[in-house]
A and B are shown apart, each in its own frame.
Chain A
């Protein structure tokens, strides 16, 4: 079952890179505002229409 080592290593590498991404996202302030992003994403189309 030596393949387990490989799978575990790779899975941990994937998990660790996700953890890194998670830490980055928290420190970057990605989640400091957990409401307005959900509203802001709704608006881009309006802006385009006005522009015309």
Chain B
């Protein structure tokens, strides 16, 4: 063996860069998270700026933590472990650098555009189309580099972690492209090709798989590398790791509809999602068991090693949230949890526990290794661990409590058959203390992160970095000896990875771009005759609703429960949202549902809305909704009306050419009418050209269509 031993160097520089980026964006993302946690009960914490208001900071928080913190964490771990598992340097240092700087630029652009209000409204896919294209390119660069490295490997066997990385790459690419298909209106505005129930289904097919293939599979891969390394013991069962890997990826893709239980998504699709979600317990727990049992015989070391402590809690958090997830996807449980803070608690067990702690453990292990030194302080790392763990508990428990409390209040009827808490606000003020406690938990967790930063910084200072680490391995004999050389898919077998990429790229680009719009334009969703497209003013108002991120706190989906119908009116039909590019069903009710805000049952005067947007507490004392004074001074972008309507028409919304031509004028007429009505109602400063008018027009339209059909 030794005669053909090859000498090569591992690229540690790229790993170091990604590790630093992980730490930096972790701090930023969690700091924004903290801000959001305060804003939810102290709306004045938006500093009275549109850019830092909850509807924009919340998407910034989720995107920063998922794609910036965890994203860089994935790259850190993959770039370190892939080289060593394959006994080769990354295929191209240049691609590694493009991957790094490309990803960081995307993060910066994402942060700026989200705060400026450029958003698609789709959760975890809020970024507008130019950023989406950049993400696709950089992701392909990453995949290209990874697969090329796999092809030039010196180790024939692909260790299980690599399979997790491959699944991550392939599926994230598919999800991202399919969910982001949109028709541009302008440089930073687009409408998705899907509408209503279809858009919701695609979004949550994506949304759930973002959790599965961005927060789970890559991190399982990291677990399979870094946990055995840190424990210095092989994984408990390699066979189990293979079985649960394949089971996991085959099941995960179908679980998305569990985010839409009791909505107007067809029942059988909901059930399908539930069935797959329940089945997911098995492969998920396969991973947890395998991770935890890798500690067998080494549990005593957990006492001394902060790294192992982090890993143990991370894997435990993974096990808990993947047990809770299937439970939450049971319809009866989901009826309680959906739209409440229970969901927020659930995802944070995963994010803070699983992703956060695994990342911390990994970096605590990696940095001393790459800097040829010891960790600056084990004591400090242990302190970080305990503060972080207590932080998670203080974060999650109040939110479980809040979620339950709010649901119980929503569905409570008096003995006479009336809602016990007809005013939604009562159910919010009740849980404010829990929100306050959650922000304490978040602060604790963040304090731990600061200790982490300090500890890593001191370690880096004390060590000497080795950018290129020497290694040796025998070359891989070039062809494998199989007896299948005459088999028809011999070519596929010999070039599996290239095949995988080519097939996917071809099918996706060809299929998606050409078929999807034609498929969807004349959709076979049951339409309701009375449901008509929005007027130009309402359309602009809807875009303001999206821009301000109203959907982060207000759902537009009334579920068929007695208490919801009693509170908000008739449950939502799929036919009502056929012209909604994008859908705005929402996933959380920090404020009440708005699906029928303009209906007879819920309708308020224009002046109520005007005053409420200017200062919510003037109309609803105690409200936690932020003020939107800028809507009173910003002018409606009527210049975009024609294009917007034309794009909608292309996407299948039945605007006539005449309607599009007269769109701008029609908008002004309706705006003047609303402004005049506002003046009549005593709002002297009402100005027909301002955004508030468009938003009022939109809100007053919501839920009115089917009332017409009832007549």
Known: A14-B170, A21-B496, A30-B157. A2 touches B198 (CB 8 A): yes
Contact A35 B520 (CB under 8 A): no
Closest to A41 in B: B159
Q: Evaluate contact between B511 and A4: CB separation under 8 angstroms.
A: no
Kindly state the separation between the CA atoms of A18 and B496 in the bound complex, as whole angstroms.
11
Known pairs A2-B523, A3-B202; A20 contacts B507 (CB<8 A) = no
**Residues on the B chain within 8 Å of A22, using CB:** 246
> Contacts A24-B496, A35-B238, A52-B470: A14 and B85 contacting too (C-beta < 8 A)?
no
- Which one, B167, B232, B233, B519, contacts A6 given CB within 8 A? B519
> What is the minimal beta-carbon distance from B116 to any residue of chain A, in angstroms?
30
B158 and A30 form a contact (CB under 8 A): yes
Of the four ranges (under 10, 10 to 19, 20 to 34, 35 or more), the interface on chain A belongs to: 35 or more
Asked if A37 meets B159 with Cβ closer than 8 Å, knowing A3-B519, A10-B174, A42-B234, the reply is yes
Asked whether any CB of chain A lies closer than 8 Å to the CB of B516, the reply is yes
Which of B280-288, B301-309, B498-506 forms contacts with chain A?
B498-506
CB distance from A10 to the nearest CB of B (A): 6
Interchain residue pairs A-B with the least CB separation, the first 3: A38-B234, A3-B198, A38-B238
A25 to B202, CA, bound (A): 31
**A34 near B266: Cβ-Cβ < 8 Å:** no
Q: Please, what's the 1-or-0 string for A1-39, where 1 marks a CB less than 8 Å from any CB in chain B?
A: 111111101110111011011101101111101110111
The CA of A5 and the CA of B519, in the complex, are separated in Å by 9
- Size category of the binding interface on chain B: 35 or more
> CA of A7 to CA of B197 in the docked complex: distance in angstroms?
13
CA distance A33 to B156 in the complex (A): 12
A6 surroundings in chain B (CB, below 8 A): 178, 511-512, 515-516, 519-520
Interchain CA distance A5-B511 in the complex, whole Å: 12
Given A3-B519, A24-B496, A51-B470, residue A42 in contact with residue B253 (CB < 8 A): no
Q: Closest residue of chain B to A11, judged by CB?
A: B253
A7 CB → nearest B CB, Å? 6
**B174 adjacent to A1 (CB under 8 Å):** no
Partner of A18, one of B157, B249, B507, B511: B249
Whether A37 touches B238, Cβ cut-off 8 Å, given contacts A2-B524, A7-B205, A21-B496, is yes
Q: Is the beta-carbon distance between B253 and A27 smaller than 8 angstroms?
A: no
Q: How far is the CB of A25 from chain B (nearest CB, A)?
A: 7
B436 interface residue, CB < 8 Å from A? no
Q: Does B419 contact A (CB under 8 A)?
A: no
